[in-house]
Structure 1
Amino acid sequence: MVLTGTGTGVGKTVVTAAVAALALDRSRSVAVLKPVQTGVGPDEPGDVAEVRRLAGADVTTWELGRFPDPLAPGTAARRAGLPPVTPSQAAAAAVELSRGHDQVLVEGAGGLLVRFDDNGGTLADVAWSIGAPVLIVAEAGLGTLNATALTAEVLRRRGLECAGVVVGSWPAEPDLAARTNLDDLPVLADAPLVGAMPANAAKLEPKEFLAVARRSLAPSLGGEFDANGFAASHVA
């Protein structure tokens, strides 16, 4: 499965960790691939380290490239004077991991069409190459509908399966836009709402995080989340 966001900072890593934690809890072997990490120094923990911290050390993680500037992968690689990570390299790594793991999660950087390289390669190309469904991680509030609809439209145009939409950071006190978006997101995406991770999830210890992941992700992702019930409990 490939996980993409409607932008940066929407909660992709927390959702990736939650899916991984639930898979591990079902005694499945899990690998998380981060093709490109940007905006992090060589000795700083990146997204895969966060996944291991939240989901557990049994997760296999692999980061293919790291560039210090917090920019699109292709731009960050060019500024660093380093070769970019191409979609074909990312796809090959995902296939290699699939040979030894029950589940492989590929976490993108930024959105679906952010460029990996100067040839225009994107995360969508990675998903197409490996034939993987794509899970959209979206924001909760105002502006998320357009970004989610655009992402879902690209998936349909490229013949890619959308595994659903997860709200990556559900606020403790959701405003009117967030509450109404629970009904509108699956309509705009033409895909089910399959989760809503609470905003404080990244601060939890692994045992608590697993319990929250179970409540916050749908059965299709290994959890118990009921989208209709969740929406009904937040009627505007």
Structure 2
Amino acid sequence: MGKGIFIIGTDTDVGKTFVTAGLIYKLKENGYNTIAFKPIQSGGILSADKKTLIPPDIKYIKEICDIEDEYSNMNTYCLKEEVSPHLAARIEDRNISKEKIINHYKSLLDNYDYVIVEGAGGIVVPLINNDYFIYDLIKDLNLDVLIVAKAGVGTINHTTLTAEFLKQKNIKSKGIVINQYNDKFYEKDNIKVISKLTKLDIVHKIKNIENPTVENIKSEYRDLDLEKILNLFN
């Protein structure tokens, strides 16, 4: 039986997919059988034959981590509209089943050492109507979370509110990854304040890559601390 962790962002576009890929890359590099799981992806892109939708987050992870698994093994629902999952499902007349997502996750646990589950947006994103949210899914999957936050202005507020909300919902946070770090003086202060307010471990600071290539992305991933990653699952 494998173990899982849920990757949650303080907002949209903070780098959840980038961090998810990094964890998977580092674990696979060290011989661990690891997979990404994106329960619901909105903003799907058409395949080359224009017959199916491809989840772009999983596409990036597959390519950067050399994963050969089918998209369907790593994603339960892929929706076309790039809006909140509950709204995309309503627009496209799709029914989202939490039971299907939970069973999908359990099947991955049976076949992999580690399953990295990536959310959609922040912690209070609705998945099914206005009745079932990201935090509900985390609790149903019985997972701890890793918070991904930006380094820059505004991150103290976003990160602290996210951490406090998780506490209110009795969801355990295992730490914070700071993304898009530029080694600026105010970013260093942001991190100190976040660490003091949340009392959470800063697992890693990922440098901002201005001109990303496959090689410099992988180089950044190699700098991740394997021991800290493994501790996320304990």
TM-score by length of 1: 0.84
Q: State how far apart, in whole Å, the 2-side matches of 1:118 and 1:214 are.
A: 40
Q: Does 2:50 correspond to 1:46?
A: no
Q: Does 2:160 correspond to 1:149?
A: yes
The counterpart of 2:127, out of the listed 116, 136, 145, is: 116
Q: Does 2:228 correspond to 1:220?
A: yes
> 1:126-175 CA deviation, whole Å, 9 max, x = no partner?
2212221100000111111111111111221222111100012223xx44
Q: Which runs of 5+ in 2 are unaligned?
A: 48-53
Aligned length: 219
What amino acid does structure 2 have at the position aligned with 1:187?
Answer: K
Corresponding position of 2:193: 184
Corresponding position of 1:226: none
Q: 1:100 to 1:121 in 2, by over 3 A?
A: same
The counterpart of 1:199, out of the listed 185, 205, 208, is: 208
> 1:42-76 CA deviation, whole Å, 9 max, x = no partner?
32551011011112225675111122222111011
Q: Tell whether the 8 Å contact from 1:40 to 1:66 is kept in structure 2 after alignment.
A: yes
Q: 1:7 to 1:195 in 2, by over 3 A?
A: same
Q: CA deviation at 1:29?
A: 0.7
Q: 1:58 to 1:192 in 2, by over 3 A?
A: farther
What amino acid does structure 1 have at the position aligned with 2:194?
Answer: L
Instruction: Provide the aligned C-alpha RMSD in A.
Output: 2.3
Q: 1:201 to 1:166 in 2, by over 3 A?
A: farther
Q: Tell whether the 8 Å contact from 2:7 to 2:16 is kept in structure 1 after alignment.
A: yes
Q: Does 2:12 correspond to 1:30?
A: no
Q: State how far apart, in whole Å, the 1-side matches of 2:173 and 2:191 are.
A: 17
Q: State how far apart, in whole Å, the 2-side matches of 1:201 and 1:220 are.
A: 26
The counterpart of 2:6, out of the listed 2, 6, 13, is: 2
What amino acid does structure 2 have at the position aligned with 1:80?
Answer: E
| Between 57-66 and 141-150, the greater mean CA deviation after superposition | 57-66
Q: State how far apart, in whole Å, the 1-side matches of 2:40 and 2:210 are.
A: 24
Q: 1:45 to 1:199 in 2, by over 3 A?
A: farther
What amino acid does structure 2 have at the position aligned with 1:71?
Answer: V
Q: Percent of counterpart pairs with the same letter?
A: 25
Q: CA deviation at 1:222?
A: 5.3
What amino acid does structure 1 have at the position aligned with 2:65?
Answer: A
Corresponding position of 2:104: 93
Higher relative contact order (CA 8 A, sep 6+): 2
Q: CA deviation at 1:201?
A: 8.3
Q: CA deviation at 1:217?
A: 4.6
